Amino acid sequence: MGEPRRFSVHLALGGGKVADVLLWKKWHRSVVLLVSSTFLWFLFQRAGYNLLSFISNGLFLLVVILFFWAKSALLLNRPPPPVPNLELSEEIAVKAADEMRVLVNNALSIAHGIAIGGNLRLASVLLCLSLPVLYDKYQNLIDDKLNAAYKIARIQYRIIDEKVLSKIPLPPNMEKKIQ
């Protein structure tokens, strides 16, 4: 029997720069990844920060820096910051609109499949993933609404029972069992 063939984890991870970082072959990049991911985890999980506010604050900080750089350049007779001309060409706008149209049509197609009932598996997956989260978030409101609906249903059943069901004649042996 020969030696068992060795499985290359480096090749399984793609064999490139990502594999080098994940296997700590480029240890300085791995340390940067570990520290930055720990910092982002702390921001998003522990500090209650979310991605949208993080991006917004980062862009706001960039605008403030560029503003002060431009104003100080005017005062000190220096060149202004190299900001590119921010114009959106018609070609880019048409491409973006086409991509959005495709995405919206796909979403509408999925919604149509769910609404018609042809895609019950996807509907059940969406419900299983969304209902517990929604109930956890809005539990008191949902419980109040369900209790109100239950009381209304009980009143309606009582009315139907008194006006309709009580007038239906029952066989003689059924009357004795009910009373």
Task: Give per-residue pLDDT as tens, 45-61.
Answer: 777 777 788 889 889 99
Give the separation between CA 84 and CA 106, rounded to whole angstroms. 35
- How far is it, in rounded angstroms, from Cα 83 to Cα 65? 12
Query: Which percentage of the chain shows pLDDT scores above 90?
Result: 17
Say if residue 118's pLDDT is above 70. Answer: no
Q: Is the pLDDT of residue 148 over 80?
A: yes
Q: Is residue 80 a contact partner of residue 70, using CB atoms and an 8 Å limit?
A: yes
Q: How far is it, in rounded angstroms, from Cα 145 to Cα 153?
A: 12
Question: Alpha-carbon distance 73 to 67, whole Å?
Answer: 10
How far, in Å, CA of 25 to CA of 35, rounded? 17
Q: How confident is the model at residue 122 (pLDDT cuts 50, 70, 90)?
A: low
What is the distance of C-alpha 33 from the center of its chain? 24
Does the pLDDT at position 6 exceed 70?
no
Cβ 111 vs Cβ 126: under 8 Å: no
